[in-house]
Amino acid sequence: MRKSLIAGNWKMHATHLEAIQMVQKLSYRLEDTDYGRVDVVVCPPFTSLRSVQTVIESDHLPIHLGAQDTHWESSGAFTGAIAPPMLAKLSVTHVIVGHSERRQLFGETDAEVNKKAKAVVAAEMTPIVCVGETLEQREAGQAEATVRSQVAAGLKGLSGEQVAAIVIAYEPIWAIGTGETADPDTASAVISVIRDEVASGWGGDAAESVRILYGGSVNPGNIAAFMAKKDIDGALVGGASLDPDKFASVIRYWM
Ligand code: PGA
């Protein structure tokens, strides 16, 4: 049985003061939540990591801290970049890698995504590796081939045991921040393809264990339908994660 995971990607939102309030509000809204059913991750901007870490640790909150990106090197002359060991030292447990905004707006390639995923694993954190097709690729019948090649390239060089423990997020690019969602059947079909690609590259055990999330305009009204699909293990939530009330409702999807 794979445990559900709901991750909030705050993107470039919230100062560290706002982030403190957001995580405190979220924790009130999550009181009495059965954390045996769901892992919760918040991914604030780098400038808020230390503040959110302090709130999580001082209030003993069962919330995991995530980062939105990382460099693959451990240190060096890379002005403006952040290294995996710096994140690990802040008790960051999860790192989003290869988000479509990084790929589209910052030119990240599959090869870079792969280096980042391996560096995150080497620093003993969990990468959330994002894959997903554009609208043009979907319309050209290339959705499955696109995600298969992103998975194959992004996870290259990881062992089956390592892949078993990571998280993959399927985020069709046309559904991100647009209010459009993939319908649960479509999302689940692509996620089965991703699991099949993991099985062929890293074995059946890795495919059984790896958690695969859906992302793209997830909100309190549609989360239950995604979670009802047996292949969908959780969600990567952007816009709705900025509102603690909404994000708490997404996290408590069964209530
Ligand atoms: P969205 O973003 O929920 O605002 O569509 C999802 C994401 O980009 O991770």
Side chain identity, residue 105:
L
Question: Counting atoms of ligand 1 from 1, which one is nearest the CA of 219?
Answer: 3
Q: Please say if the pLDDT value at position 1 is more than 90.
A: no
φ, ψ (nearest 5 deg) of residue 128: -105, 95
pTM for the model stands at 0.97
pLDDT tier at 78 (50, 70, 90 boundaries)? very high
User: What confidence score (pLDDT) does residue 19 get?
Assistant: 98
Q: Give the active site residue among 64, 99, 133, 144.
A: 99
Q: Per residue in 106-133, pLDDT tens?
A: 999 999 999 999 999 999 999 999 999 9
pLDDT tier at 147 (50, 70, 90 boundaries)? very high
User: What confidence score (pLDDT) does residue 179 get?
Assistant: 83
Q: Please say if the pLDDT value at position 232 is more than 90.
A: yes
Q: CB of 160 within 8 A of CB of 206? A: yes
Q: Per residue in 161-190, pLDDT tens?
A: 999 999 999 999 989 888 888 899 999 999
Q: Whole-angstrom Cα distance, residue 66 to residue 92?
A: 5
Residue of 176, 178, 217, 223 with the most ligand 1 atoms within 8 Å of its CB, for mutation: 176
Phi-psi region for residue 130, left (φ > 0), alpha (ψ -120 to 50) or beta? beta
36 alpha carbon – ligand 1 mean position (Å): 25
Q: Quickly tell me which residue has 């990567």 as its tokens.
A: 236
Q: CB of 167 within 8 A of CB of 94? A: yes
147 alpha carbon – ligand 1 mean position (Å): 17
Q: Whole-angstrom Cα distance, residue 55 to residue 14?
A: 15
Q: Which CATH class is domain 4-251?
A: alpha beta
Residue of 213, 217, 251 with the most ligand 1 atoms within 8 Å of its CB, for mutation: 217
Q: CB of 126 within 8 A of CB of 95? A: yes
Q: Please say if the pLDDT value at position 102 is more than 90.
A: yes
User: What confidence score (pLDDT) does residue 61 get?
Assistant: 95
Sign of CA dihedral 28, 218, 81, 86: positive
Give the rounded percent of residues in the chain with a pLDDT score beyond 90. Answer: 96
Domain borders along the chain are 4-251
171 is a catalytic site residue: yes
User: What confidence score (pLDDT) does residue 86 get?
Assistant: 98
